[in-house]
Amino acid sequence: MKKLFKLLVVSLVAFALVACGGGGTEGETPVGEGKTYNVGVAIYKFDDFMTLYQEEIKTAFKSAGAKDGNTYNVDIVDAKGDQAGQVEQIKNFITQDMDLIVANLVDPTGADVVIADAKAADIPVVLINREPSVEVMSVWPGKTTYVGVDATQSGIYQGEIIAELESKGDVNGDGTVNYITLKGDAGNVDAEQRTEYSIKTLEKSITTNNIHGTEFQGNWDTELGEKHTSDALTKYGKDLEVVFANNDGMAIGAVQAIEKAGNRTIGEDIFVVGVDAIADAKELLKEGKLTGTVLNDHFNQAQTVVEVAIKALNGEELSAYYWHDYVKVTKVEDAELKRAEYRKETVEEVTVRYAEREKAE
């Protein structure tokens, strides 16, 4: 009812503007329906990558409005990693009767509750970045979707980057790669899959040895990445051959630690690989101080978020999943941002694919 009222007011204002000759010159203003939509975007934390991603979402809504003549008021909030705080932010969006919610959940295990609340208020939800469990996607089919990239792919690319080196990462030629992994948040799908698949992939070419035994918890953070790498260098010295970082933030920390230690040369006797392809990582890559990274395509993900959000705002049914690809990056040009098609998948298709993946292991 409230939405209907909002629509009426907007239409009346649009009519008044046209009647007063307030519209732009033909050709300048897009031909559109002139509706106003309010979109709430809840971000888990404005870390390096999510800062890029949310900016791209803002830009994409703006250009969509310029094209279709609608106004998209986008309210983006930063939960600063605090789950309880984010629950409040999302409740607020619901109280404000937002037309759609984009959610990058601090804790994706709570996605079912978020969706149930949104469903009760008839507000579609686009989940991003932190993939929830498949079951969650069946809570409100057609009105809930996940736009993302398959985390296993990023791990595979990281493993391939090292496997494709002449030494395969085996600097001392003893037939084994000694590595550490700098991990993102515990339980985070991206962190788990990148950790697992980078090594599984490298192991197809050469034996590996995690010289730390358990991974270092770096929480996507540069300072922690630096600290853990510095500790590892002190403890294992020249034995440490590869640093797998679940993201560029921590990879950059690793590079800083190696440079401070001063007795190793990245690209010669030690290798560092990250994920995201943020600007600072690309810079290091250019300078030869980073072995490689994987583009976590924020551009295409954001474009698709906006495209599917608009579908939902138009009352269209959404597919459960919209996927993009990661891109292997060993030189800056590999990370070029260009619009790519998404792939749609249903809950059933994803369930089968994941089961097959598990069986293959």
Closest to ligand GAL by CB, 56 or 99: 56
Closest CA to 99 of 72, 79, 81, 78: 72
Residue 322 binds ligand GAL (CB under 6 A): no
Which position among 47, 107, 221, 297 is part of the footprint of ligand GAL (CB under 6 A)?
47
Residue 222 binds ligand GAL (CB under 6 A): no
- Contact segment (CB under 6 A) with ligand GAL among 17-25, 43-51, 114-122, 284-292 equals 43-51
Closest CA to 257 of 182, 164, 173: 182
Residue 170 binds ligand GAL (CB under 6 A): no
Residue 129 binds ligand GAL (CB under 6 A): yes
Residue 152 binds ligand GAL (CB under 6 A): no
DSSP 8-class letter at 350: H
Closest CA to 36 of 88, 114, 110, 100: 100
Residue 220 binds ligand GAL (CB under 6 A): yes
DSSP 285-296: HHTT---BEEE-
Min. distance of Cβ 301 from ligand GAL in angstroms?
A: 9
Site for ligand GAL in 285-304 (CB under 6 A): 296
Site for ligand GAL in 88-117 (CB under 6 A): none
- Contact segment (CB under 6 A) with ligand GAL among 24-32, 46-54, 305-313, 353-361 equals 46-54
> How far apart (Å, rounded) are the C-alpha atoms in residues 245 and 225?
8
Residues 291 and 266: beta-carbon distance below 8 Å: yes
Residues 255 and 265: beta-carbon distance below 8 Å: no
Residue 14 binds ligand GAL (CB under 6 A): no
Those residues with Cβ within 8 angstroms of residue 298's Cβ, 6 or more apart along the chain or in another chain: 49, 52, 53, 56
Min. distance of Cβ 47 from ligand GAL in angstroms?
A: 5
Residue 321 binds ligand GAL (CB under 6 A): no
Min. distance of Cβ 276 from ligand GAL in angstroms?
A: 5
| Strand residues in the chain grouped as ranges (E) | 36-43, 71-78, 100-103, 125-128, 144-149, 176-183, 207-210, 216-217, 242-245, 271-273, 293-295, 321-324, 327-329, 343-345
Those residues with Cβ within 8 angstroms of residue 48's Cβ, 6 or more apart along the chain or in another chain: 220, 222, 247, 248, 249, 276, 278, 280
Which position among 86, 153, 193, 247 is part of the footprint of ligand GAL (CB under 6 A)?
247
Size of the site for ligand GAL (CB under 6 A): 15
Residues 171 and 181: beta-carbon distance below 8 Å: no
Closest to ligand GAL by CB, 114 or 310: 114
Min. distance of Cβ 206 from ligand GAL in angstroms?
A: 25
Interface contacts to ligand GAL, rule CB under 6 A: 44, 47, 49-50, 129-130, 184, 188, 190, 220, 247, 249, 275-276, 296
